[in-house]
Structure 1
Amino acid sequence: MPAESTPEPEIPGEPGTSAPRRGTKGRRRKARSTRSKALLITAWSAAGIVVLGGTGAGYLYFKLNGNIKSVDINQALGSDRPTKVDNGSENILVLGSDTRAGGNQKLGGGTDDGSARSDTAMIIHVYKGHKKASVVSIPRDTLVDRPSCTDAKGTAHDAASGVMFNSAYSTGGATCAVKTVESVSGIRMDHYVEVDFTGFQKLIDDLGGVKVTTTKSIKDPDSHLHLTAGTHTLDGEQALGLVRTRHGVGDGSDLGRIQLQQAFIKALVDQVKHLGVLSSPKKLYDLADTATKTVTTDSDIGSVTDLASFANGLKGISSSHMNMVTMPVQYDSADANRVLVDKDKAAQVWKALKDDQPIPKSATEGTATGSAKNVVSSG
């Protein structure tokens, strides 16, 4: 049967064991080499591409539907979660994953051992009315107390103290990552979106690249990225290199890489909003096919129609209405490659999101930052 036209709906509903250590401000972290880094993409990328419209026969709908992988977060986590705040806002956890298998192993190096990591994590808070959003990046190297959790397969995992934040995903997948974020923030995640290395690169290529302007040259042999200062249209490989690099520009820290990632998101949002993909049914289908193969979602948006409805609800948010911050942290005095949550500052962030209010500037003043701010902007 033919696929039905999708209207313009709104968002539905509303490795270690050491004890945590005290940190100090202002300490510069030393660069740390690793062959496999983070990637990212946000739910906004879906806003311009996961739209069926009137694109053809029913078998296309069923093919796209079969592409999507989903995880029943609600079933796995049960009732031991923060209470949902019914104020019209929406909280989405977006993860970038590196499964170390198949195409990802070729892109990121390493062994084909099937292990999984999530080196990029962002909480997207969509405010009531869905016209603006705040994005809070969580540094992968943050030391946290990881709660006990049960993964999607029913396997139980013990709690652990003073472990890296991204160990939650490598330990128990999406459900443990969501539970750790909810434990750290005290905020319930309404949705979950995950994208991997291979899908990120192909998606950018299918979009025709993303235009950015760099104020400094970037050269990083680890991420295979070489850009002179100026305006560039990045293909998938270059875009992946940009969001992975930490040695090509700035102080070599993960916090600096987060600044590059946030700048790339804004460029991507601007690009998607002006693509006009609906003018070409074939391009639309190719994009939708890539996007649905790329993402893993929570089961509430685990179908084409639900994902399209969810994505369309984000289309009113422009990059100029996105406030992007990093979760307040301080450098760990005991280990220059780790950071600790600045609990007092972070509490201001979480309270603002719970109350559906803007994040105050005081929440990030005096916290640890990278040195790659303003290096990349929309082209």
Structure 2
Amino acid sequence: MRRLSAGGWVAVITTVLVIASSLTAYGAYHDIYGNIDQETIDTDAFGDRPSRVEGALNIMLVGSDVRSGANAEYGGDDIEGERPDTLVIAHISPRTEGATLVNLPRDSLVDLPSCEATDDKPGVRAHTGMIGEAMSSGGVQCLWKTVEQLTGVHIDHFVSVDFTGFKGMINALGGVEMCIPEPISDPKAHLELDAGQQVLDGEQSLGYVRSRYGQGDRSDLSRIKRQQDFMGAMLRKATSSEILASPANLHDFLGSVTDSITTDDELTVNTMADIAITMRETKMSDIRFITVPNGLHPANPARVAWTEPDASQLFAAIAADKDLSGSDDEDGEPDGDSSEDDTATVEPATVSVEVINGTGIAGLAGETADGLSARGFQVVGAANPQGTVPEQTTVYYGTGHQNHAQTLADELATATTAEDPTLGSTVKLVISNDWNGLNQAGEVPESVAEESKTAEKQTNACS
């Protein structure tokens, strides 16, 4: 039985997003897009959903263990249906000009919501179980709902890849160079490798990223760390001049995996092009890999529990589109010359806020004003609305003050921003019925910053 895990799946999908911008001809996008299977997801059935930050994008990446069609050669007669062999949230942020990929370990024991039965899935009642049960019992739609409810992160799209797509991409790249610090002999992964620097082909790479019992402490968590190193090596190879030099090679490269990709039907060719444009200038140092903070589950040491409050702080930071690199200057602006960027956040003390309570909950404006004052904002008033209340909690800002609005929005669990030319320097927070209080992100947990990796600097035990 062969399983492809996080490094492989995410490298496939992220690499496509990073280099797709090289196919500038609109017709080339359509040609490749036509090979992709799509699935309709009824997100309206989820009920209340987390709010999204304008411009940011969150994609649920699924590594499918389906064994039908071209994947039948990987056996697994005991495998019923389809499950997420790996699960990742890819957060793409034009504001921070980077991408963060958060691994959700498949051994995570979590509180699963209920999901209705479908034509081919039995559905699932609310209970505590392995995170992958959501997909096997309710399909991708149930998994999507589960991830949103567990993390509080608004998911915009999903992308799923199977075994065949992974091997095809590696072979189209001409293999991926990896350092193998010690010989590997893993019969379960059908993998035999000598020690040293070497180029792995598609079949060897498939074995390497799923190998668990032939390396390290045999845990899924240590395997994730190796997979992240593989992902960085794959991204560096895919974005090298050797691959990017030929449009024809790029077209063949992307075409080699699209036969094995499934997405939601809202992930259109135009959306894919927008993602590619967003990531066109992304450097390897701006692609960050994180595993949700975790430890042994107290009720079952063979399973994983997400560590609190670090996990919630991480997800809150992702949901608010915060910079997870920890590289912000003390004045609140990112490193680099951003003095002319009107979306760069500023110090809360420079932000003047008026709070408007549009929910009908008595005292909410005053309570919110007190909370914002405690975080350093200059609250100039709190009142009830005079006119129509927006469907979403919104921070309105006058011309030239988008950065002030964004600084405030970053502190709210649910909020969007919108320009109102009639306003001056004071931003106006209008609280609507989706209000979920101030976010709890605060500072990004130190454990996240310490454990995270970038695609630019991956561990190389051979050097």
Shorter-chain TM band: 0.7 to 0.9
Partner-residue secondary structure (3-state), 2:266: helix
Amino acid in the other structure paired with 1:350: F
The Cα of 1:74 is off from its aligned counterpart by 4.8
Indicate whether 1:172 and 2:138 are aligned.
yes
The Cα of 1:61 is off from its aligned counterpart by 6.5
| Correspondence for 1:71 | 39
Q: Distance in 2 between matches of 1:224 and 1:36?
A: 11
Change (3 A) 1:127 1:378: farther
The Cα of 1:122 is off from its aligned counterpart by 1.0
Matches within 5 A, 1:270-289: 270-277=236-243, 279-289=245-255
% identity of equivalent residues: 35
Q: Distance in 2 between matches of 1:138 and 1:122?
A: 6
Change (3 A) 1:200 1:130: farther
Change (3 A) 1:365 1:207: closer
Out of 11, 17, 24, which is 1:53 matched to?
Answer: 24
Q: Distance in 1 between matches of 2:117 and 2:448?
A: 33
| Correspondence for 1:44 | 14
Q: Please say if residues 277 and 284 of structure 1, whose CA atoms lie closer than 8 Å, have aligned partners that are also in contact.
A: yes
Indicate whether 1:261 and 2:227 are aligned.
yes
The Cα of 1:225 is off from its aligned counterpart by 2.1
| Correspondence for 1:323 | 288
Change (3 A) 1:375 1:270: closer
Indicate whether 1:210 and 2:294 are aligned.
no
The Cα of 1:376 is off from its aligned counterpart by 5.4
| Correspondence for 1:21 | none
Unaligned runs of 5+ in 2: 325-443, 452-457
Change (3 A) 1:376 1:228: farther
Out of 312, 327, 350, which is 1:347 matched to?
Answer: 312
Q: Please say if residues 138 and 327 of structure 1, whose CA atoms lie closer than 8 Å, have aligned partners that are also in contact.
A: yes
Change (3 A) 1:280 1:319: closer
Indicate whether 1:98 and 2:65 are aligned.
yes
Indicate whether 1:238 and 2:238 are aligned.
no
Q: CA RMSD in A?
A: 3.1
Q: Deviations over 1:43-101 (max 9, x none)?
A: 3221325754349xx6x776533311122335564553212222x32212111111011
Q: Please say if residues 193 and 298 of structure 1, whose CA atoms lie closer than 8 Å, have aligned partners that are also in contact.
A: yes
Number of aligned positions between the proteins: 335
| Correspondence for 2:48 | 80
Amino acid in the other structure paired with 2:95: G
Q: Distance in 2 between matches of 1:285 and 1:375?
A: 31
Amino acid in the other structure paired with 1:185: T
Q: Distance in 2 between matches of 1:347 and 1:61?
A: 37
Q: Deviations over 1:228-248 (max 9, x none)?
A: 332121111111112111112
Indicate whether 1:362 and 2:331 are aligned.
no
Out of 144, 156, 164, which is 2:110 matched to?
Answer: 144
Change (3 A) 1:323 1:152: farther
The Cα of 1:126 is off from its aligned counterpart by 1.9
Indicate whether 1:89 and 2:64 are aligned.
no
Q: Deviations over 1:311-361 (max 9, x none)?
A: 342233333222322112221244332111223221111122123224434
| Correspondence for 1:20 | none
Q: Distance in 2 between matches of 1:240 and 1:262?
A: 14
Change (3 A) 1:36 1:268: closer
Amino acid in the other structure paired with 2:199: T
The Cα of 1:378 is off from its aligned counterpart by 10
| Correspondence for 2:167 | 201
Q: Distance in 2 between matches of 1:230 and 1:141?
A: 31
Q: Deviations over 1:152-179 (max 9, x none)?
A: 8696723332211111222222211111
Change (3 A) 1:326 1:279: closer
The Cα of 1:148 is off from its aligned counterpart by 1.9
Q: Distance in 2 between matches of 1:69 and 1:76?
A: 22
Unaligned runs of 5+ in 1: 1-33, 368-373
| Correspondence for 2:398 | none
The Cα of 1:277 is off from its aligned counterpart by 4.0
Q: Please say if residues 201 and 236 of structure 1, whose CA atoms lie closer than 8 Å, have aligned partners that are also in contact.
A: yes
Q: Please say if residues 76 and 152 of structure 1, whose CA atoms lie closer than 8 Å, have aligned partners that are also in contact.
A: no
The Cα of 1:134 is off from its aligned counterpart by 2.0
Q: Distance in 1 between matches of 2:60 and 2:198?
A: 30
Which has the larger displacement, 203-212 or 42-51?
Answer: 42-51
The Cα of 1:280 is off from its aligned counterpart by 3.4
The Cα of 1:104 is off from its aligned counterpart by 1.7
Out of 153, 164, 188, which is 2:154 matched to?
Answer: 188
Partner-residue secondary structure (3-state), 1:300: coil
Q: Please say if residues 121 and 139 of structure 2, whose CA atoms lie closer than 8 Å, have aligned partners that are also in contact.
A: no
Q: Distance in 2 between matches of 1:183 and 1:377?
A: 39
Q: Distance in 2 between matches of 1:54 and 1:89?
A: 25
The Cα of 1:200 is off from its aligned counterpart by 0.7
